[in-house]
Chain A
Amino acid sequence: MPGRIRAISWSQILSPVAASNTTQSPLRQSRLPRSCLSANLTPADPAQPGERLSSNSPPKADLFVTCIIDQLYPQVGVSVVRVLRRLGVDLSFQEDQTCCGQPLYNAGYSKKARTLARRVLDTFEDSEYVVVPSGSCAAMMRVFYLDLFRDDPAMLKQAELLSSKVYEFSQFLTSVLGAEDTGSTYSGTATYHPSCHLLREMKVRDEPQSLLRSVSGLELTDLPGAETCCGFGGAFSIKFPHISEGMLADKVENVVSTGADTLVSCDMGCLMQIGGGLSRQDSEIKVRHLAQVLDQDHSSNS
């Protein structure tokens, strides 16, 4: 067993950084034009690993834990902290953080969303990295803030700065830390549900699954119809419950069909929806955030 544990040295973690230091800093993103004329608001390319400038100090990161984890799934937050610290991240948590504003933004209340977004921008103004254990909230901060402040040049500048520092959890692990194997162990068969915003706004497609493949004792099986939405969609799930439930039923059917005992995702919103559906069917399938699966390393395995 000890052979499985891959100690991650700083030089290993930071090696991709040296190679890509010449790439344009995302901090120097050009001003984005008004939404309609550009195909995409293009935040910093998350595929570029390692924007770290210094190569020796451990990376300093702030955790944006998200309100759903804070209020409903605190143990997921604990796992996030443990995994990041195990990988040597100097992690802080700003205690006055609340919500990124996405529920308001999605409901069309952009003025109110800006109120909350301004708090976030202020809170993380000096952060080196902001790690977000949710593809959806990360997308809000990385992508949608640029839309939210499109008519306010001063705030847009601040939003662009934050955008370049925000990473979803699995993306931070792979792109910034360069982690291929977190030295984790988990016993069981898992299948992975890619959340929509992680997939399509954050462009994180393979990272979580490659991390899962490195987990000792975990067998990963493909989820049919993986990239189809689970039907959560925040307020959508209660505004149009019949449609949301229809989408959920398909997702649950597909999850059950894999025979996996654990469903993994990077968004607790989706997992609340799918987990709620599985539980209602008396399914024994566990739902886990990626961080919970990566949480157990060999040394603490008991």
Chain B
Amino acid sequence: MADIKTKDFSKASAVSILDPQLRRALRQVGTGFDAARRAAIDEVSPKLWDEWREEARRIKIHSLDHLDYYLDLLEQNVTKAGGHVHFAKDAAQANDIMAELVRTRNIKIATKSKSMVSEELSLNPALEAQGVDVYETDLGEYIIQLAEETPFHLVAPALHKTKEQVAQLFTDKLGIPYNDDINALAAAARLALREKFLQADLGISGANFLVAETGTLVIITNEGNGRLSTSAPRIHVGITGMEKVIPSLQDLAVFLRLLPRSATGQRITSYVSMITGPRRADDEDGPEEFHLIIVDNGRSKMLADPDLREALYCIRCGACLNICPVYQKVGGHAYGWVYPGPIGAIVTPSLVGLKEAQDLPQASSLCGACREVCPVNINIPRMLLHLRQKSAESPDPSERSAGLVPNLLAEGYTRVMRSPALLSASHKLGRWQQNVWAAMPFFPFSKKGGMIRKASLPLLSRWTRMRDLPELPKETFRDIWKKDLKEGP
């Protein structure tokens, strides 16, 4: 599996939030991707859009509820078309399958179109260990491969890089003269990779969808690298999570409408490629062998949990990242693993372990914007809450991670709120504390318009370092009610 740095979320996000370049790049996410998404939805009408979302959701619910059946059907139809299906229960097994394939077929060069699952598995190092040169061919993935980083965004992996950085990277790694014109950079990548496509023995792709009825792998791309990777080499291996299967060819229509619009605001991407088995005997070109590796790697655990199954409906469009005010502040790397943003805050703890990634579900104001934009209407905030429940109360000690202090605070809060008398008493205590602070010269403290201003108070510094506090009033509402309001105006 890919390196897990989820424990560093607090630290990493505190650093990334101050990075001026990231802030510029992230501000563009709202003005670029999200604005394009909105325009695309307005064009189809929000009402029709909601009908599509509901249809897509129904398809996903049905597919996942009968996943065993559709995986079986898919396997039969891929096999019937001359392909081979391999099932992997975890990352190690998936990488072993790949290693076995490249060993027995004497693969030296592989080109890869974008695949989040392969990032999850850390497939590239596994292939390199077999002596295979692997080239990422999606421009963004290529950049981060050269930079030895992980994707910053589901759809735009190198979103955080400036053109100057990419130009310097290309100069350092490809030995070409520095040129930071974006067209020139794309042309340089085309030139470098074109040669690899034609030399490669193996093309690797992910899958956006798998159609059980026909045994078809569907990939949705813009650059053409997906077409080349799945057409030019003599072997094509598709590798993907088991949740990607949908029943019928007809189910594809709604997803082709939702995914490009949600991801980039496009009516459709430049290319949609549907691959069913290897090339047929009489075809002009295409791979002689087609393999499909279907990966569990923790997904069956999500499937078994009614509170998390919904996360498997995700079609990886990235819309929830683009709208998320937290993602827009901290960026993709702070999330510490492969899947960033709101959906990442659910998928990551589910796949790497909740205790390992306990901060991620907490790092949300639960504003719900992610759910509002999700093309399959995934209730992301609800799942974040359910993960928080597991952290706080799960009977399974491998999930429970809440510390003593939060536990005591929650207990204390419950006790006070259970008793109106205790609540009144705590208000009085707070007033007393406030007066004590006010009387002490060493706490800078001023009052104005009902606010405690520019205070630096013990216990409250996490609030007061950037915000003023309302003054605790003399009377609570219930005091005023009893005195003035109870008997009517």
Tell me the A residues contacting B by CB distance below 8 Å.
Answer: 34-37, 39-40, 65, 67, 69-75, 77-78, 81-82, 85-86, 93, 95-99, 101, 103-112, 115-116, 119, 147, 196-197, 199-201, 227-229, 231-234, 236-248, 250, 272-273, 275-277, 279-280
Contacts and interface: CB of A to CB of B under 8 A. Distances in A.
B310 interface: yes
Given A232-B365, A237-B365, 9 more contacts: A39-B57, A71-B427, A72-B473, A74-B473, A101-B417, A109-B410, A197-B368, A243-B326, A276-B467
A40 B477 CA distance: 35
B377 interface: yes
A201 B475 CA distance: 32
B368 A200 contact: yes
Contacts of A101: 417
Given A77-B480, A112-B411, A241-B463, A95 B420 contact: yes
A110 B466 contact: no
Interface of B: 10, 13-14, 17, 54, 57, 61, 306-310, 325-326, 329-330, 362-369, 371-372, 377, 379, 382, 385-393, 402, 406, 410-411, 413-414, 416-420, 423, 427, 448-449, 451, 453-454, 462-463, 465-470, 472-473, 475-482, 484-486, 488-489
A277 B467 contact: yes
A250 B414 CA distance: 34
B121 to A, nearest CB: 26
Contacts of A98: 416-420, 423
B468 A85 contact: no
B470 A240 contact: no
Nearest to B65: A37
B402 A108 contact: yes
Contact of A108 (B308, B372, B393, B423): B393
A95 B481 contact: yes
24 contacts: A34-B306, A65-B478, A74-B473, A77-B477, A95-B481, A96-B420, A106-B385, A107-B410, A108-B388, A108-B390, A108-B391, A110-B392, A115-B414, A200-B367, A228-B367, A233-B367, A236-B364, A237-B463, A239-B362, A240-B363, A242-B13, A244-B365, A246-B17, A247-B329
Most buried by A among B367, B390, B473: B367
By CB atoms of chain B within 10 A, which of A111, A112, A232 has the most? A112
Contacts of A147: 382, 385
A234 B308 CA distance: 24
Contacts of A73: 470, 473
A93 B427 contact: no
B392 A74 contact: no
B462 A238 contact: yes
Q: What 6 A-B pairs have minimum CB-CB distances, sorted nearest first?
A: A233-B365, A276-B467, A108-B388, A108-B392, A229-B367, A77-B477
A106 B366 contact: yes
Candidate in A35, A105, A110 with the most chain B CB atoms within 10 angstroms: A35
Interface centre among A39, A201, A228 (most CB of B within 10 A): A39
B470 A35 contact: no
B397 to A, nearest CB: 15
B237 to A, nearest CB: 33
Contacts of B462: 238, 241
Nearest to A244: B365
B419 to A, nearest CB: 8
Contacts of B473: 72-75
Residue of B57, B329, B449 with most chain A CB atoms under a 10 A cut-off:
B329
